[in-house]
Amino acid sequence: MAADQNTDLARSTHPMPLVFGAGAAIGILGGMIGLGGAEFRLPLLISLFGFAALSAVILNKAMSLVVVLVALPARLAAVPASALAAHWTIAVNLLAGSLIGAWAGATWAVRMRSSTLYKVLAALMVLMAAALLVTHVTTVGTLSLPVWAQVPLGVVAGFGIGVVAAIMGVAGGELLIPTIVLLFGVDIKTAGSLSLLVSLPTMLVAFARYSRDGSFAVLGANRRFTVVMAAGSIVGAMLGGLLVGVFSDLVLIPVLAVILLVSSVKLARHD
C-alpha cells in the first residue's frame, strides 16, 4: 500500500439513525432506477462520513455485496433460472475477464497514492454518469457481432468492468447491463439478472484481494456502521422499487447524473 494512502480505522461516531437514513436514501435512488445505488453511496461515505478513499471503497464493496446477495433471489423470481441457464455462456465469457480485472483493480487501488485514488474515483464517477444516461435514457441496440468477435470483446469488456467495480466498490451493473445488451443482444430484463450473476463472483475476488491488505481492517473497526447502512440500503431499495414510474426517467436520470458529476468534481479536489 502506498505510504500516504490513509485509511480510517477508527469507529464511526455518527449516530446510527443517520447512517441508516443515508443508506435508505441511497437505496431508494438505486431502487427507482433498478440499481443498488453504490455509485451514489461512495461519495457520501467520503464527504458526509469522512472516510478516506480506500476505506470508503472497501466499505462500499461490503455493502454492495450484501445488496447483491439480497437482490439475486428477487431477480431469479422475476427471471426464471431456466431463462438464465440458456445464457450461461455469456456469464462465463464476461467472468473470464472480470475476475482478473477485479484482482487487478483492487491491487492498483491499494497501491495508489491517496491523491491519485481520489482523482481516479472522480473520473470513474463521470463514466458511471455517462453509463447511467446511455442505459436509461437512450435505447441500447446490439452490435450483432459473430461469435468469434463476441468472445474476445466480452473478455476485454469484463476485464474493464472488473477493474472499475473493484476500484469503486460497486457491483458494476451500470456497465454490465448495457455491455450484455450491446454485445450479446440479450433483452434488458434478462441482462439485469445476468449482471448479478457476474457481479457476485467478481466482487468476491476483489474482496479476496483487499483482504490481503491491512486496509481491510476498516470493516472490523466499522462493523456496526456497515451493517446498519447496508440494512438501510436494502430497505431503501425495496421502497425505491415501489416508486418506479413515479418520476419519469427523462427527469430522474439526468438529475442523478448531475449528482454524480458534482460528486466527481468534489472528489477530484479532495486532498
Which comes out higher in pLDDT, residue 199 or 70? 199
Decide if 18 contacts 33 (C-beta within 8 A): no
Decide if 111 contacts 54 (C-beta within 8 A): no
161: pLDDT strictly greater than 70: yes
Run of H or E residues at 145: none
Give residue for cell 439475486.
72
**pLDDT, average across residues 150-160:** 94
> How many degrees, rounded to 5, is the angle at CA 235 between CA 232 and CA 239?
130
45: pLDDT strictly greater than 90: yes
Query: Cα–Cα distances in Å, from 103 out to 19, 62, 133, 164, 196?
Result: 29, 16, 28, 11, 18
Position 68 scores a pLDDT of 82
d(CA 148, CA 76): 30
Position 1 scores a pLDDT of 43
How many residues in total does the chain contain? 271
Q: How many CB atoms lie within 10 A of CB 256?
A: 24
Which comes out higher in pLDDT, residue 66 or 159? 159
64: pLDDT strictly greater than 80: yes
Work out the pLDDT band at 16, boundaries 50, 70, 90.
very high
DSSP state at residue 214: G
Lowest mean pLDDT among 48-62, 152-166, 236-250: 236-250
178-222 confidence digits (pLDDT tens): 899 889 988 877 888 888 889 999 999 998 999 887 777 888 889
Which comes out higher in pLDDT, residue 59 or 239? 59
Nearest Cα to Cα of residue 137 among 243, 34, 251, 250:
250
- State the distance between the two ends of the chain, measured CA to CA, in whole angstroms: 18
133: pLDDT strictly greater than 60: yes
High-pLDDT (> 70) share of the chain, %: 90
Decide if 101 contacts 175 (C-beta within 8 A): no
Q: How many CB atoms lie within 10 A of CB 246?
A: 9
Position 5 scores a pLDDT of 46
224-247 confidence digits (pLDDT tens): 999 999 999 888 888 887 776 677
Structure-block grid coordinates of residue 50: 469522512
**pLDDT, average across residues 115-134:** 90
**pLDDT, average across residues 78-105:** 89
163: pLDDT strictly greater than 90: yes
d(CA 251, CA 248): 5
Position 6 scores a pLDDT of 46
Lowest mean pLDDT among 46-55, 129-138, 146-155: 129-138
7: pLDDT strictly greater than 70: no
Work out the pLDDT band at 4, boundaries 50, 70, 90.
very low
Decide if 162 contacts 104 (C-beta within 8 A): yes
Nearest Cα to Cα of residue 37 among 5, 66, 78:
66
Compute the radius of gyration of the chain from its Cα atoms: 18
Give residue for cell 491519485.
116
